[in-house]
Amino acid sequence: MVLENNIKQLRIENNQMSQQELAELVEVSRMTIYSIEVGKYTPSAALALRIAQVFSKPFEEVFYFNKGSEKK
């Protein structure tokens, strides 16, 4: 199963927050946020929780498993 996320959508809903602004809030680089958004990198539990906290959402509303993309 692939871990996907709603970060891009949540950023837009939060006053068009930029990748750089989110990166500064969770103390990582913009490249890291970009890589998570496009699914190139799966964040650690600690970073994923920090991102969820920024949007004041439960973890599972930000990150979820996409069962459809599971390899058979």
Determine contact, residues 21/28, Cβ cutoff 8 Å. Answer: no
Measured from the CB of residue 26, what is the shortest distance to another protein in angstroms?
9
Q: Which of residues 1-20 bind another protein (CB under 8 A)?
A: none
The Cα–Cα gap between 54 and 41 comes to 19
Measured from the CB of residue 67, what is the shortest distance to another protein in angstroms?
25
Element (H, E) at 66: strand 63-66
CA distances from 42 to 4, 13, 15, 45, 71 (A): 9, 22, 25, 9, 17
Residues 28-67, mask of contacts with another protein (x by CB under 8 A): xxxxx-xxx---xx-xx--x--------------------
Interface with another protein includes 27 (CB under 8 A)? yes
**Residues binding another protein (CB under 8 A):** 27-32, 34-36, 40-41, 43-44, 47
